[in-house]
């Protein structure tokens, strides 16, 4: 009787568990994705963006919603068939500005009284609203030699009407990430809502504001009294081999139409300086700063500029994590910032007078910090391996954490996912290496599971506790795999020396770390089927897959996504030359030995493992010729191989139907090679 009673008691829980299903590709693309969010001046309301995707239409749409800060009364502000983005409250909290059709609009908090504010032919890419509500800072891409919008339109019309199809290239860099730069540059404009006049601060300049790369999401701002502007720009004439972003200030009183604004540079390092943020009291500008020129993954410090004295102070000189996002407390006494910290993106705060740093939130991946007007509450987005981004709150000391939005709660309730765990093992040179382990849904420790071994890109990156929409660790595990995701030498979040150690040693310590993690995992986790192990990686991870192909037969099959196969030819086709020149300590003609030492192409004759290769036609970071060389080599060697070429994708596969095909192809490849 007691046994029957026990069965009846646990039966509902067993049935509930069985109703759940593993995460699918369609689940992934059905998730509602929170983008930016903005807090109203009275601290009572959020405006935030939500992007939803249609697999059928193969595209996404972004809408704007409002919600009370206690999580109640979620309602749409703008949810048309067009994408609306970047909501910003007016200083009095009565209006909201936003972008639609590349122009700034404003409306009431109920969506009424919608008015178009700007009419730039070249459109608005990003903007800031002044504190007095009378001006906007606007980012727009223009022909730098054009004195006005009419000229921009005329040049575009001439190109459309011309039958000639040719690119005349006279400078570096001519491509960036996934686009040809053509002749336009991103300029910063001041727009006066009263006079309706636009003033180009970088008039006739061939420099981009914000810079093409290595900047932040917050690279131009008004001062609290609206009398000055701070922004980030790379002043070099050739930016392809320069990481020298600088911070500048311009006094609004000095801005004149059809004249370059008088600029003052306040940063001094030859490395990457960006993200200038004024203190609420107007006394300081805080910004992120790297010291070493050419090193895109140098440690990022928090630097304070005293506007009265012009003196600079490095606030995090003795701190061993790189500062990312910067947000001031309302009283201007503290700065909150985020930093990669092991597998997390943690939240810290620092007292600007004492320099004391406090870790207030370690776990998971946290970003988009917003401090309440009274300074008592910090709002932020948080994600983890089993949860897409949602808005959360905590008190200023890191306690009383609450989830405010629950956009995907209903869908997640029906999906079985096991939160990631971590383990440490010894790697190269006796250094301890941390790895994530993700177990498959409905995991049974008595069973044997095949393993997928994931290698992250960067190479100065890391696997973190996140819900990734391209390389989602839970989705990799969903088909009954144990996933191992190591953070080897070169990873961020473990101190700058560990990050730096990969440069000049791509196939050395990092490869040894990875193999040590692999050997440890198959030895210590009895639920891993040693006969069925697979590896996949993208970007640098793709490079490492190519390196593995020529150096070990540990895996049944491999997947290389947009990876470097030939280090020498990659130098000549990539757009950001500072990257290979830092990683391989020069150009191919000044240090060819190092390029060749870590060149997977030199070892391809050892290839035996079946490989799936993925490449995007618009990937200008690791261009398509890398995949073509690799595929051709494997085919000539008689090694089983397949090439997935996406003509419309770039370094990432981002279209819903392409992504679904990608996931299905990867799983089919692994399934085909199971023993």
pLDDT at 170: 87
CA 490 – CA 512 distance, rounded (Å): 12
Judge whether 288 lies within some domain: no
Region of 353 (left: φ > 0; alpha: ψ -120 to 50; beta: rest) is: alpha
pLDDT over threshold 50, residue 96: yes
For 222-233, the pLDDT digits (tens) are 999 999 999 999
Count structural domains, the chain: 1
**8 Å CB contact between 45 and 64:** no
Q: Please, is 161 exposed, middle or buried when counting C-beta atoms within 10 Å of its C-beta (0-12, 13-18, 19+)?
A: exposed
Judge whether 208 lies within some domain: no
For 492-511, the pLDDT digits (tens) are 999 999 999 999 999 999 99
pLDDT over threshold 80, residue 3: no
Query: Which tokens sit at 311?
Result: 């003196």
Query: Which tokens sit at 341?
Result: 């910290």
Judge whether 124 lies within some domain: no
For 148-168, the pLDDT digits (tens) are 999 999 999 999 999 999 988
434: confidence class by pLDDT, cuts 50, 70, 90: very high
For 334-344, the pLDDT digits (tens) are 999 999 999 99
Judge whether 449 lies within some domain: yes
pLDDT at 16: 47
pLDDT over threshold 50, residue 15: no
Judge whether 198 lies within some domain: no
- What is this structure's pTM? 0.95
pLDDT at 10: 40
pLDDT at 18: 55
pLDDT at 4: 37
298: confidence class by pLDDT, cuts 50, 70, 90: very high
Give the long-range contacts of residues 476-479, CB within 8 A, separation 24 or more. Answer: 476/438, 476/452, 476/536, 477/417, 477/418, 477/438, 477/439, 477/440, 477/441, 477/452, 478/22, 478/23, 478/24, 478/440, 478/441, 479/22, 479/440, 479/667, 479/671
CA 665 – CA 669 distance, rounded (Å): 6
pLDDT at 13: 43
- Over range 188-195, report the average pLDDT: 96
pLDDT at 171: 86
pLDDT over threshold 80, residue 303: yes
Residue located via tokens 């190092």:
594
User: Domain holding 559: CATH number?
Assistant: 3.40.50.1820
- Over range 300-329, report the average pLDDT: 98
Judge whether 515 lies within some domain: yes
Judge whether 488 lies within some domain: yes
Domain assignment of residue 596, given as a range? 416-672
- The β-bridge partners of 354 are none
Judge whether 556 lies within some domain: yes
Residues 6 or more apart in contact with residue 299 via CB below 8 angstroms? 290, 291, 322, 496, 499
């Amino acid at each position: 009787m007691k046994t029957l009673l026990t069965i009846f008691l646990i039966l509902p829980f067993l049935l509930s568990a069985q109703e759940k299903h593993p995460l699918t590709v369609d689940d992934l693309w059905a998730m509602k994705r929170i983008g930016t969010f903005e807090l109203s001046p009275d601290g009572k309301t959020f405006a935030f963006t939500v992007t939803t995707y249609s697999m059928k239409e193969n595209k996404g749409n972004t809408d704007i919603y409002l919600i009370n800060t206690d999580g109640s009364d979620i309602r749409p502000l703008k949810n048309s068939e067009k994408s609306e983005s970047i909501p910003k409250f007016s200083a009095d909290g009565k209006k909201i500005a936003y972008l639609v059709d590349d122009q700034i609009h404003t409306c009431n908090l109920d969506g009424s009284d919608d008015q178009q504010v700007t009419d730039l032919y070249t459109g608005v890419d990003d903007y800031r609203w002044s504190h007095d509500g009378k001006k906007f800072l606007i980012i727009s891409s223009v022909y730098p030699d054009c004195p006005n919008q009419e000229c921009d339109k005329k040049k575009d019309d001439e190109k459309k009407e011309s039958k000639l199809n040719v690119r005349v290239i006279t400078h570096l860099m001519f491509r960036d990430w996934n686009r040809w730069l053509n002749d336009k540059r991103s300029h910063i404009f001041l727009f006066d809502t009263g006079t309706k006049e636009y003033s180009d601060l970088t008039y006739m300049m061939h420099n981009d504001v914000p810079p093409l790369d290595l900047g932040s999401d917050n690279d131009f701002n008004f001062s609290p009294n609206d009398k000055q502007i701070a922004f980030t720009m790379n002043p070099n004439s050739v930016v392809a081999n320069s990481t020298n972003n600088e911070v500048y200030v311009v006094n609004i009183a000095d801005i004149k139409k059809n004249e370059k604004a008088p600029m003052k540079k306040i940063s001094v390092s030859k490395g990457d300086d960006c993200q200038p943020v004024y203190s609420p009291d107007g006394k300081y500008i805080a910004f992120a700063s790297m010291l070493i020129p050419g090193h895109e993954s140098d440690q990022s410090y928090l630097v304070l500029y005293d506007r009265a004295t012009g003196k600079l102070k490095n606030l995090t000189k003795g701190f061993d994590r790189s500062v990312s996002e910067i947000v001031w407390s309302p009283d201007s006494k503290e700065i909150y910032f985020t930093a990669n910290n092991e597998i997390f993106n943690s939240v810290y705060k620092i007292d600007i007078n004492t320099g004391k740093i406090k870790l207030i939130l370690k776990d998971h991946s946290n970003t988009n910090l917003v401090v309440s007007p009274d300074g008592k509450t910090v709002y932020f987005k948080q994600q983890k391996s089993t949860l897409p981004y949602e808005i959360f709150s905590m008190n200023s000391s890191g306690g009383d954490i609450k989830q405010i939005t629950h956009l995907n709660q209903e869908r997640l309730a029906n999906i079985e996912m096991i939160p990631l765990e971590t383990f440490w093992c010894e790697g190269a040179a006796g250094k301890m290496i941390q790895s994530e382990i993700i177990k498959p849904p409905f995991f049974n420790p008595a069973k044997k599971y095949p393993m997928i071994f994931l290698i992250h890109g960067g190479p100065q990156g890391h696997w973190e506790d996140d819900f990734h929409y391209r390389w989602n660790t839970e989705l990799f595990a969903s088909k009954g795999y144990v996933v191992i995701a190591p953070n080897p030498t070169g990873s961020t979040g473990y101190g700058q020396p560990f990050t730096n150690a990969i440069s000049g040693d791509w196939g050395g310590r990092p490869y040894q770390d990875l193999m040590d993690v692999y050997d440890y995992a198959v030895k210590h986790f009895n639920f891993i089927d040693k006969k069925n192990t697979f590896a996949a990686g993208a970007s640098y991870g793709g490079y490492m897959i190519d390196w593995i192909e020529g150096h070990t037969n540990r895996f049944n099959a491999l997947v290389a996504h947009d990876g470097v196969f030939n280090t020498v030819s990659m130098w000549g086709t990539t757009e950001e030359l500072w990257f290979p020149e830092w990683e391989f300590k020069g150009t191919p003609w000044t240090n060819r030995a190092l390029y060749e030492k870590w060149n997977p192409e030199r070892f391809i004759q050892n290839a035996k493992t079946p490989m799936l290769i993925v490449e995007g036609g618009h990937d200008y970071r690791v261009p398509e010729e890398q995949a073509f060389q690799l595929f051709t080599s494997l085919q000539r060697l008689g090694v089983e191989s397949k090439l997935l070429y996406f003509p419309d994708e770039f370094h990432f596969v981002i279209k819903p139907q392409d992504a679904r095909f990608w996931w299905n192809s990867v799983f089919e490849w692994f399934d085909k090679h199971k023993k």
